[in-house]
Structure 1
Amino acid sequence: MQTASPPRKPRLAAIEYIRGISMMGVIGIHIGSQYIMNPAANIHLVALFETFTRFSVPIFFFISAFGLFYNLNLNEPFNFWKFTKRRLKTVLIPYLAWSLFYLYHDGLLYGVDFPDPLHLLSILFFGNAKYQLYFMVILLWFYLLMPLWIAMVRRLTIPRLGWLLALQIAFDYWSSFSTSFNIYVYGLPDDSILKPFLLYRLNYWVLHYFFIFLLGGYLSVHSARFMEFMKSHLHGLTCFFFFTLGGLMTYYYEKIYFDGYTALEAINTAHQLCPWGILYTIAASLFFFAVFTYQSYPQSWNSLLHILGKHSYFAYLAHPLFITYIGLWLQNTGHLMTAPVVIAFYFATLLLSILAAIACRQLGTYVPIINKLTIGVYPKK
Structure 2
Amino acid sequence: MSREKIMAIEYIRGVSMLGVIGIHTGAYSLSNPKVNIHLFALLEIITRFSVPIFFFVSAFGLFITQDLTAKLNYSSFLIRRLRTVLLPYIVWSILYMLHYTFVSGDTMIWHPPLLYEFAFFGLASYQLYFLVILLWFYTFMPLWRTLVRSIIKHPIRNLGILLLLQMLFNYYSSYILHANFSNHYLNKLIFHRTSYWIFHYVFIFLFGAVCAVEYVKFKEAIKCYRSYIKTFFSISLAGMLLFYYYLVYTLNYTPEAAVNTDHQLSPIGILYTLSSTVFLFMLFSKDRLPEGIQKLLGSLGEHSYVVYLVHPLVMYYLASYLSVRNLLMTAPTTIMFYLTTVIISLTFAIFIKKIGKFIPVISLLLTGSKLSKPKSGV
TM-score, length basis structure 1: 0.94
Q: Identify unmatched segments of 5+ residues in structure 2.
A: 374-378
**Are 2:23 and 2:44, in contact at CA under 8 Å, matched by a contact in 1?**
yes
The amino acid across from 1:159 in the alignment is: R
- Aligned mates of 1:106, 1:122 — CA distance in 2: 16
Distance (Å, rounded) in 2 between the aligned partners of 1:295 and 1:375: 31
Of residues 124, 129, 135 in structure 2, which corresponds to 1:134? 129
Partner in structure 2 of residue 364 of structure 1: 356
Number of residue pairs aligned between Structure 1 and Structure 2:
369
Once the two structures are TM-superposed, the CA of residue 239 in structure 1 deviates from its matched residue by: 2.1
Please tell me the residue identity of whatever aligns with 1:96. I
Aligned counterpart, 2:162? 164
Q: What does 1:221-300 correspond to in 2, within 5 Å?
A: 221-295=213-287, 297-300=289-292
Residue 133 of structure 2 contacts residue 197 of structure 2 at CA under 8 Å; is this kept in 1? Answer: yes
Question: CA offset at residue 301 of structure 1?
Answer: 1.4
What code does the residue aligned with 2:129 have? Answer: Y
Residue 3 of structure 1 is matched in structure 2 by none
2:118 aligns with 123
Q: Deviations over 1:246-276 (max 9, x none)?
A: 1111111111111121111110000000011
Query: What percentage of residue pairs aligned between the two structures are identical?
Result: 44
Q: Where do 4+ consecutive residues of structure 1 move more than 6 Å?
A: none
Q: In the alignment, which of 41, 44, 48 is matched to residue 54 of structure 1? A: 48
Please give the per-residue CA displacement for 1:143-178, whole angstroms capped at 9, x wherever unaligned: 001111100000002111111111000000000011
> Is the aligned partner of 1:99 residue 2:97?
no
The alignment partner of 2:311 has SS state of helix
User: What's the counterpart of residue 4 of structure 1?
Assistant: none
- Residue by residue over 1:38-90, the C-alpha shift from the partner in whole angstroms, topping out at 9 and shown as x without a partner, is 11111111100100000000000011111111010001111111111110110
Structure 2-normalised TM-score?
0.95
2:70 is aligned to 76
Whichever residue aligns with residue 192 of structure 1, its letter is: H
Q: Does 1:212 align with 2:207?
A: no
**CA distance in structure 2 between the partners assigned to 1:71 and 1:11 by the alignment:** 12
- 1:134–1:204 Cα contact (<8 Å) kept: yes
Query: Is contact 2:360–2:372 with CA below 8 Å preserved after alignment?
Result: no
5+ residue gaps, structure 1, are 1-6
Distance in 2 between residues matched to 1:357 and 1:293, nearest whole Å: 26
Q: Determine helix, strand or coil for the equivalent of 2:184.
A: coil
Deviates more, 1:257-266 or 1:227-236: 227-236
- Matching of residues 188-203 of structure 1 within 5 Å: 188=181, 192-203=184-195
Out of 175, 179, 187, the residue aligned to residue 177 of structure 1 is 175
Q: 2:356, 2:371 within 8 Å by CA — same for their partners in 1?
A: no
Partner Cα separation in structure 2 for residue 340 and residue 373 of structure 1: 37
2:306–2:349 Cα contact (<8 Å) kept: yes
Give 3-state SS (helix, strand or coil) of 1:75's partner: coil
RMSD after superposition: 1.5
Would the alpha carbon gap of residues 10 and 33 (structure 1) be closer, same or farther in structure 2, given more than 3 Å must change?
A: closer
The alpha-carbon distance between structure 1 residues 123 and 172, as it changes in their structure 2 partners (threshold 3 A), is: same
The one-letter amino acid paired with 2:212 is S
**What is the CA–CA distance in structure 2 between the aligned matches of 1:232 and 1:193, rounded to whole Å?**
51
Q: Does structure 1 residue 336 correspond to structure 2 residue 353?
A: no
Q: Are the aligned partners of 1:231 and 1:294 in contact in 2 as well (CA < 8 Å)?
A: no
